[in-house]
């Protein structure tokens, strides 16, 4: 058989395969009928044989490339199931995400320590000796902070929605970076957690020491629950990545990264959802001119909600 | 999968191989940093354009709410979604392609050769933050060039790779081939027959003849015609080879086509193929 007669003989079934393939690849539900599936399988095996034959006879690399690409697409359509994310968003947020977090609680506690300890420590230290704040943050930043919290919350025309949108973008970007930088053996994540903890603690200690405590706490307490815990969750996600490289266990590092990376990105997505809620609270609620008592009551309820969500969400009676 | 073969293929190749259950080895042409940069820049432009048009459109629709800060909030959310979600959205929806990748014929696939899903797209796009470190994708570039599959950090974690998809060259007759009289078979010395590879190079060149400036086409064609003309000594058509090398090449191709036609008429149909008697694939070095 020479190349020309080979093409003439086999060409029609390649084209038939292509048309089946196009339908198999198209998004949507009913893709191939059952008899078409068995025809697909048959054509696919014959196609693989054709490819091997073209290679062994060294007939034309463009023909080889064409067949190779067809087999690649056929392989993907035949073996690679396409998981559908649609309709799973709600169940992921309601159950999947808190479950994932509890499965990896060790990383959560580690991230909480890396973030919470410097936050509390710098808060206490700067609260006692406010001049130390200048070692952490530049004077202009401190001045802006002090300025911001020395004014009363504005009445009437505020830019609530603009602030909410800004927080969505700004905070979630930090959380995603915190997660992604975990690839560098976790060092990037540890750095983000430590530095954010120190800066937040410093600002809190400094602003309260300047006598603006009531307004400061009134502003931050509402969204603190969702925002702080989301940062910790994204930190946990980053630490999982770093851990996969440092201690891959019985897997190769590449395999461990792939397996743990899936878990980590789920946590990062959960953190993003939490930050969206936090941004809405921060934009629309935190700046409301209301007494501290009401605000701290709401804040307490929100803390209970978040902790209950992360701690109990997705628990079922069935023991599996 | 096939470790020893992979090792032998590591001679600076832009391909990666995968053995599938049907017992053939698939070759994937990897996308290099240059093409990927091009696709990235194009996507950056598309992203910017989407942001511009959405913001312009929305600011007209939301004009009555301008003082409330609502349009600004919407802008921030759109900008955020484009920054982090653009790649993920398109790669999930378009089976591993973004507009930039589509323009450059690139596609993201799993290293096992399958189509990617939502999570793979999400992981490889969120980890751009790690690839970007310290400046403009330096970490990603370094990781990619040190990796046999040219994976950046996001690809490593997602288990994906970016491959080039060639538009099939095969198929369709070369236009204008029948206008040229074939060299008679006896024109070639010792009944010399150009190899399939040579014929393919000729055909590839002639297919591109309108994309090349005429002088450049002749220049390249001359490289091919010179050795071929020597084989045509008996026919002594070196003048054509020198003055109109493209026409010369057309006639060589036409001669081959004609010889195939006669061969088909002489040979009976080959026996039916046996499915089990499959040849083992050739070693990687023989690939092109």
For every residue of A181-213, DSSP letters joined together read: GGGTTTHHHHHHHHHHHHHHHHHHHHHIIIIIH
Contact A157 B67 (CB under 8 A): yes
Chain B residue with Cα closest to A56: B282
Query: Are residues A23 and A161 located together in one domain of the fold?
Result: no
In this structure, the answer to whether residues A288 and A218 fall within a common structural domain is yes
Strand partners, B28: B16
Contacts of B262 in chain A (CB under 8 A): none
List CB contacts of A275: < 8 A, sequence separation 6 or more: A167, A168, A171, A172, A175, A226, A227, A230
Confidence bin at B167 (pLDDT 50/70/90): low
Domain map (residue ranges) of chain B: 33-164, 177-259
- Mean pLDDT, to the nearest integer, of A222-245? 94
| Cβ separation B28–A72 shorter than 8 A | yes
pLDDT, position A318:
58
pLDDT tops 50 at residue B284: no
User: Which of A47, A48, A167, A263 is the best mutation test for B, with the most CBs of B within 10 A?
Assistant: A48
Task: Write out chain B residues lying below 8 Å of A169, CB-based.
Answer: 76-77, 79-80, 83
Model pLDDT, residue B287? 38
Which one has a higher pLDDT value, A230 or B233? Answer: A230
Most confident of A124-128, A133-137, A163-167, B226-230: A124-128
Q: Answer yes or no: do B158 and A181 touch at CB < 8 A.
A: no
Q: Which chain B residues contact residue A166 at CB under 8 A?
A: 72-73, 76
Looking at the domain assignment, is residue A319 inside a domain? no
Global pTM exceeds 0.90: no
Of all residues in chain A, the percent with pLDDT exceeding 70 is 92
Q: Among A35, A55, A79, where does a domain finish? A: A79
pLDDT beyond 60 at B179: yes
B193 vs A112, which has greater pLDDT? A112
Alpha carbon distances (Å) from A29 to A25, A269, B274: 11, 27, 36
Beta bridge partners of B27: B17
Nearest alpha carbon to residue A273 among A237, A221, A220, A219: A237
Count the domains in chain A: 2
A chain contacts of residue B27, beta-carbon cutoff 8 Å: 68
- Select the more confidently predicted residue: A313 or B239: A313
Last residue of a domain, one of A32, A51, A79: A79
Length of chain A: 320
Is a pLDDT exceeding 50 seen at residue B6? no
* Full domain range(s) for residue A43: 3-79
DSSP class of residue A152 equals P
Give me the pLDDT at residue A104, please. 93
Listed ranges A47-51, B93-97, B181-185; the one with the highest mean pLDDT = A47-51
pLDDT at A27: 66
Are residue A140 and residue A65 in the same domain, yes or no?
Answer: no
Does residue A64 sit in the same domain as residue A43? yes
Kind and range of the H or E element at B29? strand B25-29
Nearest to A75 among B70, B113, B129 (CB): B113
For residues A72 and A195, state if they share a domain: no
- Quick one: average pLDDT of B134-155? 90
Half-sphere exposure of A86 (CA within 13 A, CB side): 8
A316 - beta bridge partners? none
Residues A61 and A124 reside in one and the same domain: no
Least Cα separation, residue B3 to chain A (angstroms): 14
Peptide bond before residue A232 is cis, with ω within 30 degrees of 0: no
ipTM score assigned to the predicted complex = 0.84
Altogether, the residues listed in chain B come to a count of 288
| pLDDT at residue B172 in the model | 58
Strands (E), B93-251: 106-110, 160-164
Q: What is the pLDDT of residue A148?
A: 79
CB nearest to B153's CB, from A5, A80, A183: A183
**Residue A272: CA atoms inside 13 Å, Cβ hemisphere, count?**
22
Task: Provide the shortest C-alpha distance from residue B214 to chain A (in Å).
Answer: 25
Cβ-based contacts under 8 A for chains A and B: 196
Q: Is A82 exposed, middle or buried (0-12, 13-18, 19+ CB in 10 A)?
A: middle
Percent of chain A's residues with pLDDT above 90: 45
- Can you give the pLDDT at residue A146? 81
- Residues of A within 8 A of B159 (CB-CB) are 258, 261
Q: What's the pLDDT at B275?
A: 41
Predicted confidence (pLDDT) at residue A154 exceeds the cutoff of 90: no
pLDDT at B235 over 60: no
Q: Does residue A96 sit in the same domain as residue A50?
A: no
Report the alpha-carbon distance of residue A93 to residue B11 in Å, rounded.
47
d(CA A156, CA A288) in angstroms, rounded, equals 10
B165 contacts A80? CB cut-off 8 A: no
- Residue to mutate among B69, B161, B285, with most A CBs inside 10 A, is B69
Co-location of A228 and A123 in the same domain:
yes
Residue B186 — pLDDT band, cuts 50, 70, 90? low
Same domain, A74 and A96: no
| Pair (A50, A104) in one structural domain | no
pLDDT at position A86 is 58
* Contact check, Cβ <8 Å, A162/B70: yes
* Residue A318 included in any domain: no
Whether A167 and A62 map to the same domain: the answer is: no
Classify residue A170 by burial, with Cβ atoms within 10 Å: 0-12, 13-18, 19+.
middle
* Chain B residues near residue A49 by CB distance under 8 angstroms: 24, 273, 275, 278
A207: in domain: yes
Residue of B nearest to A262 (CA): B119
**A-chain residues near B199 (CB < 8 A):** 60
A47, A79, A111: which is the final residue of a domain? Answer: A79
For residue A51, the chain B residues in CB contact (below 8 A) are 24
Q: Which chain B residues contact residue A48 at CB under 8 A?
A: 20, 22-24
Mean pLDDT score, A159-176: 87
- Of A132-136, A241-245, A268-272, A299-303, give the lowest mean pLDDT range: A132-136
CA B11-B15-B19 angle, to 5 degrees, is: 105
Quick one: tokens of B106?
């690139």
Interface test with B, best of A154, A162, A273 (most B CBs within 10 A): A162
pLDDT digits (tens, 9 = 90+) for B188-223: 666 677 777 788 788 888 877 777 888 888 888 888
**pLDDT higher than 80, residue B28:** yes
Measured between alpha carbons, how far is A231 from A278 in angstroms, rounded to an integer?
Answer: 11
Mean pLDDT, to the nearest integer, of B15-36? 84
Helix (H, G, I), strand (E, B) or coil at B56: helix
First to last CA, chain B: 21
| In a shared domain, residues A199 and A226 | yes
CB-CB contact of B32 with B14 (8 Å): yes
Nearest to A168 among B77, B281, B287 (CB): B77
**Is residue A16 in a domain?**
yes
Q: Considering only the beta carbons, identify the residue of B24, B84, B115 that sits closest to A80.
A: B115
Q: What does the pLDDT average to over A75-89?
A: 70
pLDDT for B81: 92
Q: In which band, very low, low, confident or very high, does the pLDDT at A215 lie, cut at 50, 70 and 90?
A: confident
CB contact under 8 A, B73 and A163: yes
Q: Which helix (H) or strand (E) element contains residue B214?
A: helix B214-231
Q: Predicted confidence band at B285 (pLDDT cuts at 50, 70, 90)?
A: very low
């Amino acid at each position: 058989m020479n190349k020309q007669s080979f093409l003439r003989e086999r060409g029609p079934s390649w084209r038939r395969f292509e048309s089946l393939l196009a339908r198999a690849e198209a998004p949507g539900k009913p893709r191939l009928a059952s008899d078409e599936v068995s025809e697909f399988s048959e054509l696919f095996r014959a196609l693989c044989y054709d490819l091997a034959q073209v290679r062994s006879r060294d007939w034309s690399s463009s023909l080889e490339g064409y067949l190779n690409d067809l087999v690649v697409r056929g392989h993907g359509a035949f073996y690679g199931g396409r998981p559908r994310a649609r309709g799973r968003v709600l169940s992921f947020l309601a159950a999947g995400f808190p479950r994932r977090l509890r499965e990896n609680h060790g990383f959560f506690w580690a991230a909480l320590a890396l973030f919470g300890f410097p936050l509390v420590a710098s808060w206490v230290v700067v609260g006692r000796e406010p001049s130390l704040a200048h070692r952490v943050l530049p004077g202009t930043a401190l001045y802006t902070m002090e300025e911001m919290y020395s004014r009363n919350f504005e009445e009437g025309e505020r830019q609530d929605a603009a602030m909410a949108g800004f927080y969505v973008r700004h905070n979630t970007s930090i959380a995603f970076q915190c997660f992604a930088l975990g690839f560098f053996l976790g060092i990037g994540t540890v750095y983000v957690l430590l530095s954010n903890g120190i800066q937040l603690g410093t600002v809190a200690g400094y602003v309260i020491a300047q006598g603006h405590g009531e307004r400061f706490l009134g502003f931050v307490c509402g969204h603190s629950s969702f925002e702080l815990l989301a940062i910790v969750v994204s930190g946990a996600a980053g630490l999982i990545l770093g851990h996969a490289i440092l201690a891959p266990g019985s897997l190769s590092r590449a395999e461990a990264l792939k397996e743990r990376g899936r878990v980590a990105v789920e946590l990062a997505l959960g953190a993003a959802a939490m930050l969206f809620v936090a941004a809405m609270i921060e934009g629309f609620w935190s700046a409301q001119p209301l007494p501290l008592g009401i605000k701290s009551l709401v804040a307490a309820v929100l803390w209970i909600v978040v902790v209950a969500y992360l701690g109990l969400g997705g628990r079922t009676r069935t023991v599996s | 999968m096939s470790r020893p073969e992979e090792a032998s293929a590591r001679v600076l190749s832009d391909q990666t191989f995968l053995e599938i259950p049907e017992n053939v080895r698939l070759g994937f042409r990897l996308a290099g940093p240059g093409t990927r940069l091009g696709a990235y820049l194009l996507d950056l432009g598309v992203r910017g354009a989407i942001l511009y048009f959405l913001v312009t459109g929305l600011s007209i629709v939301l004009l009555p709410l301008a003082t409330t800060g609502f349009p600004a909030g919407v802008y921030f959310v759109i900008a955020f979604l484009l920054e982090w979600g653009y790649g993920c959205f398109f790669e999930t929806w378009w089976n591993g392609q973004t507009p930039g990748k589509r323009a450059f014929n690139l596609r993201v696939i799993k290293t096992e050769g399958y189509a990617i899903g939502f999570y793979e797209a999400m992981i490889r796009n969120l980890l751009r933050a790690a690839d970007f470190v310290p400046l403009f994708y330096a970490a990603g570039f370094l990781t990619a060039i040190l990796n046999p599959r040219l994976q950046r950090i996001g690809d490593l974690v997602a288990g994906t790779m970016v491959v080039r998809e060639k538009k099939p060259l095969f198929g369709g007759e070369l236009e204008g081939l029948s206008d040229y009289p074939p060299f008679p078979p006896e024109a070639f010395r010792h009944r010399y027959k150009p190899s399939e590879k040579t014929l393919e190079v000729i055909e590839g060149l002639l297919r591109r003849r309108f994309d090349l400036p005429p002088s450049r086409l002749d220049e390249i064609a001359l490289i091919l015609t010179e050795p071929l003309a020597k084989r045509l000594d008996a026919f002594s058509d070196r003048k054509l080879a020198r003055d109109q090398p493209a026409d010369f090449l057309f006639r060589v191709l036409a001669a081959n086509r004609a010889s195939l036609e006669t061969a088909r008429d002489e040979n009976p149909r080959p026996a039916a193929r046996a499915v089990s008697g499959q040849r083992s694939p050739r070693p990687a070095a023989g690939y092109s």
